[in-house]
Structure 1
Amino acid sequence: MPTELTLDDLTTLLRECAGEDETVNLDGDVLDKTFTELNYDSLAVLQTTGKIEREYGLTIDEDAVNDAQTPRQYLAVVNAAFSDDRAASA
């Protein structure tokens, strides 16, 4: 089981959950672009979060997810959940 989510993991999940706008290159430097700039709305982010929670058995802070505006911020939230999960298992 992974111990963190990478940008590659996130872009793959976003594509699976919500598709991809062909005008946006998710393989480029997107860490600090807003989800709006990447043409993903809050529903797409919530769908992605649900899939991560199911696949990895995590509980992710919903308020923090709602506050995350960029992939960098979102990854910080998800990876904090991975860290919390590891700490609880120790």
Structure 2
Amino acid sequence: MTASQFALADLTRILREGAGADDGTDLDGDILDRDFDDLGYESLALLETAGRIEREYGIALDDDVFADSRTPRALIAAVNGLLSASAAI
């Protein structure tokens, strides 16, 4: 599936489906600017998340996307940037 926008709801759904949710983390709360580590998502969970985003949205995420995008807000912006670039082609 190719989409034109990636939203927080999409990210939280993918996080839950791929890695679950930490009992102490409310993914429905204000998480946009919280670090993924603070949300309980370590590198393996984020790799799974990246793979799911790539398959579902038909994009390729750079290996450093999670190093550069430590929060949901930053990751959403990075994914939307790639979606916009692929739509322009």
Common topology (TM > 0.5)? yes
Q: Which residue of 1 aligns with 2:81?
A: 80
Q: Deviations over 1:5-54 (max 9, x none)?
A: 10011001001110111111000000000001100012211111111111
Higher relative contact order (CA 8 A, sep 6+): 2
Structure 2: distance between partners of 1:2 and 1:82: 7
Structure 1: distance between partners of 2:68 and 2:16: 21
Aligned-CA RMSD value: 1.1
For residue 72 of structure 2, what is the amino acid of its counterpart?
Answer: P
Q: Which residue of 1 aligns with 2:11?
A: 10
Any stretches of 5+ residues in structure 1 without a counterpart?
none
Structure 2: distance between partners of 1:9 and 1:71: 11
% identity of equivalent residues? 48
Which one is further off, 70-79 or 54-63?
54-63
Which one is further off, 49-58 or 21-30?
49-58
- How far off its partner does 1:65 sit? 2.8
Q: Which residue of 2 aligns with 1:35?
A: 36
Please give the residue correspondences for 1:17-32 in structure 2 after superposition, counting only pairs within 5 Å.
17-32=18-33
For residue 24 of structure 1, what is the amino acid of its counterpart?
Answer: T
For residue 59 of structure 1, what is the amino acid of its counterpart?
Answer: A
Any stretches of 5+ residues in structure 2 without a counterpart?
none
| TM-score under structure 1 length normalisation | 0.90
The number of residue pairs the alignment matches comes to: 88
- How far off its partner does 1:62 sit? 2.1
For residue 27 of structure 2, what is the amino acid of its counterpart?
Answer: L
